Structure 1
């Protein structure tokens, strides 16, 4: 029985129980409030629904706390109890070997396919399932008793003068505040983890050599000069924005100011389809179509320059994969981020500004150039910033179309690599987390985070300036 309970999908079961508790408690609280009215009590301070929400909150809160405790500690408690019951022979295993063995036991328990294993492993897995089943029963019992206790407590407090609405609103404020705290704590946790691992890396490799070194060969733990990675990242992002910024912005201006309703109904959804295409599809398109085309054009330019005597040797690398191919396709990918958001902010510009410009004799193009676009500039900058962040963080297109060569080259037809590609390469494999090769990935992530933060600060300054001008 305990083994079967250990196989229960506890996550969905806990969510279902919380939903049931909330529904039942809301019904109980609402019925209680309605009976107070029918019994001749004075007019209620709060509507019956607020009484239901109040009871539901008190019923759900203990259940949620138990569910969180189970999600955070059940696995650790199960493994700790199982480890304490293992035979003395297992004490010879190292911490890493014990962790691997327990992972195998947990995997076998989830798959229920361990009948052909040795007797010791089978017995250990069965005991693991029994422990899990016991914890499941305990969690379910605590949830039920906690929810019932909260329901009874809240129902007894209901009365005609009870301020249920105020308490419910305070409870929702607390929930919103908790969500904000979780978001801030997540950001702080990301920054702290990046900083800690990066500091470990900079103890081995000087930060100056990392930021300004021109040779990157982290796979052999020989050279960690990341300047070629920064160069490749920004060069490809610059090519992408050279494509996406004008096309996306001009598309948004056309759709919002010039296109008729029929044209807008067709063009805008087609543009937004680009945002839903998987990046791996863009990678295939870049590898199979754009990269060969770029190489062919580069070869033709080289031959033309040589044949006309303007050059004695090829000027362009014309490699099968290139930064130009990746940047062009990446620019197509981020066009919807610019066009859709810019279209929304341009449409949000008050019509009175346009009417005032027309009244002063401005043409439509002059109104768009001198009034509409400056008024919408904060939103346009936000759209461009989102597109830049999307381009800098892209990995698949670069892997497939730009190559993995860490170099500094102004030739866009040569293959380059980016920070994100190297992070993926460094974090895959079996290298330990205390190895400089792995730690360098955290240093790269920290630099990428810092650059994005700088872009955000600059954008906020510009937005603040123009917002004050047009408020």
Structure 2
């Protein structure tokens, strides 16, 4: 219902904007000077008609489901008193599914009764929500519409509202980043209480599926030697290296061709086609790697007497390199085009050829942007999961041989968090430690890129 009400408020805002701006325009036609333009008056009415209502339905969507569950639990306190927390959650989930037309495994009289309570409370809540929503819309719209006058400083109100919206959006982005970092740090700290940091960072054996812990004769302490991250880092770096060796030269040379050699017609065709590669879902790349590239590499290796695994780092790296070509090509093309024409003209005036100008003038001047493009492509390759799962496998091997099966950090994170997990076990908490490790690696890459950008930007500004 939230999105239905949101769409309704969008229509209300449009109508309010039209009525408010139209009234202001009628006043202006009487040769009366307005403090703010008619558009600001329309936006003023639209904000007061739809803004408070939007805040209300957002708060309602956040808190009403929990409140409704609490009321159902209070209504059926005798029937649910003996249930544990997981059993209570499952009971409420099934009751809600029955009430709203979902499918459940089995039902009983208690669930049917709870479903009736959910349905009645939902209907009551919907009625109350519509009534309050109408009150906000009608009251806010009427009050703001009546206030339109030549002296109304609607521009100030609209601009302050927009400023606060921007501040809130910025705060959400910052708080989200802080929340991600803190959650990784907290869960990783819980992991490192069970597994020493040095065993994790410098360990050479990765087999968390064999970890078990608990109390009793059938349990032992967690084996901390099976959480070594070196095999995962080795696989990640090997596949990323192969990918960047494919993407960097092809992408950079494509950018040079498109910016300095291609005609406008060719550029208008080739660049969009090249950028289509960025829009292909990664699972499609994974299918291509598993069904085409990997069998081809294995067949080619057998013909020349090489032992090639059915899932290899080379297959995953090649396809991943193709996937990140648009990141290198498009961004490099933009920064090469941004190099001032005066540098090219000056080089040509000194007798340099076009190729010499590109090599000795254009590329050094565009180096900060090119480095940024490469770092972005590397980060994208490090974070890729589907291609590695389907083409490189899950074997945690320490090897520099691209023909062998390897795995990466992101693949293991997904593997550890699939299915029902106990978030107090070292096996599950290892995923957060891997996430923190990956975060530190990408952070170091970005710091390096910023230093390079700063150094060469100062040199060529």
Paired with 2:406 and 2:328, the residues of 1 have a C-alpha distance of 25
Aligned equivalent of 1:65:
55
Change (3 A) 1:114 1:431: closer
Pairing of 1:432-471 with structure 2 (within 5 A):
432-471=422-461
Cα distance in 1 for partners of 2:444, 2:103 equals 52
**Whole-angstrom CA distance in 1 between matches of 2:107 and 2:423:** 32
The question of 1:232 aligning with 2:210 is answered: no
State which of 290, 294, 298 in structure 2 corresponds to 1:291: 294
Give the Cα separation in 2 of the matches to 1:274 and 1:385: 18
Correspondence for 1:74 = 64
Question: Does 2:371 correspond to 1:381?
Answer: yes
Please tell me whether residue 14 in structure 1 is matched to residue 5 in structure 2: yes
- Would you say 1:24 and 2:15 are equivalent positions? yes
Report the CA distance between 1:111 and its aligned residue.
Answer: 2.6
Asked if the contact 1:317–1:411 (Cα under 8 Å) also holds between the matched residues in 2, the reply is no
- Going from structure 1 to structure 2, the CA distance change for 1:238 and 1:64 (only over 3 Å counts) comes to same
> Contact between 2:97 and 2:103, CA under 8 Å: does it hold in 1?
no
Match for residue 400 of structure 1? 390
Tell me if structure 2 keeps the 8 A contact 1:108–1:125.
yes
Note if 1:244 corresponds to 2:247.
yes
Checking the alignment, whether the CA contact within 8 Å between 1:114 and 1:122 is kept in structure 2 is no
Q: Distance between the aligned counterparts of 1:114 and 1:292, measured in 2? A: 43
Aligned to 2:166: 176
From 428, 447, 463, the equivalent of 2:418 is: 428
Question: Aligned partners of 1:110, 1:428: CA distance in 2, in Å?
Answer: 28
The aligned counterpart of 2:220 is none
- The CA deviation string for residues 198-240 of structure 1, in whole angstroms up to 9 with x for no partner, is 1111111111111111111111214111111111111100110
C-alpha spacing 1:61/1:355, structure 2 compared with 1 (3 Å): same
Q: Cα 1:282–1:16, aligned 2, differ >3 Å: closer, same or farther?
A: closer
Query: Which residue of 27, 47, 50 corresponds with 1:36?
Result: 27
Structure 1 residues 249, 121: CA separation in 2 closer, same or farther (over 3 Å shift)?
same
Q: Partners of 1:95 and 1:280 in 2: how far apart?
A: 37
Q: Deviations over 1:240-275 (max 9, x none)?
A: 001100111011101111122333233323322222
Query: Does residue 362 of the first structure (1) align with residue 365 of the second (2)?
Result: no
TM-superposed deviation, 1:114: 7.4
Identify the residue that residue 275 of structure 2 maps to in structure 1: 272
When residues 116 and 94 of structure 1 are mapped into structure 2, their CA distance, relative to the original with a 3 A threshold, is: closer
2: CA distance, partners of 1:188 / 1:142: 35
Change over 3 Å in CA distance of 1:278–1:114 after alignment to 2: closer
Q: Aligned equivalents of 1:19 and 1:430: distance in 2?
A: 40
Q: How big is the shift at 1:356?
A: 1.6
For residues 38 and 403 of structure 2, the distance between their equivalents in structure 1, rounded to whole angstroms, comes to 70
Residue 139 (structure 2) aligns with: 149
Counting matched residue pairs gives 448
**CA-based RMSD:** 2.0
Is this contact kept in 2: 1:287–1:400, CA < 8 A? yes
SS at match of 2:277: helix
Greater shift after overlay, 139-148 or 408-417? 139-148
Q: Deviations over 1:276-327 (max 9, x none)?
A: 22222222221222222323343445x4xxxxxxxxxxxx642111111111
Distance 2:99 2:44 in 1: 41
Counterpart position of 1:261: 264
Q: CA deviation at 1:113?
A: 5.7
Report whether the alignment pairs 1:212 with 2:202: yes
TM-score with structure 1 setting the length = 0.90
Distance 1:97 1:240 in 2: 48
Aligned equivalents of 2:123, 2:337: Cα separation in 1: 58
Which position in structure 1 is the counterpart of 2:214? none
Structure 1: runs of 5+ lacking an equivalent:
1-9, 304-315
Q: Is the 8 A contact 1:115 1:122 kept in 2?
A: no
CA distance in 2, matches of 1:115, 1:357: 76
Residues 48, 144 of structure 2: 8 Å contact kept: yes
Cα gap change, 1:116/1:93 in structure 2, threshold over 3 Å: closer, same or farther? closer
Contact 1:403–1:415 (8 Å) recurs in 2:
yes
Q: Which residue of 2 aligns with 1:192?
A: 182
Distance 1:349 1:297, change over 3 A: same
| 1:429-471 residue CA offsets vs partner (Å, 9 max, x unmatched) | 2221222111110111111111111111111111122222222
**Residue in 2 aligned with 1:281?**
284
After superposition, give the CA deviation of every residue in 1:154-180 in whole Å (9 maximum; x if it has no partner): 334432122222221222121112111
Q: Which runs of 5+ in 2 are unaligned?
A: 212-222
Structure 2 length as normaliser, TM-score?
A: 0.92
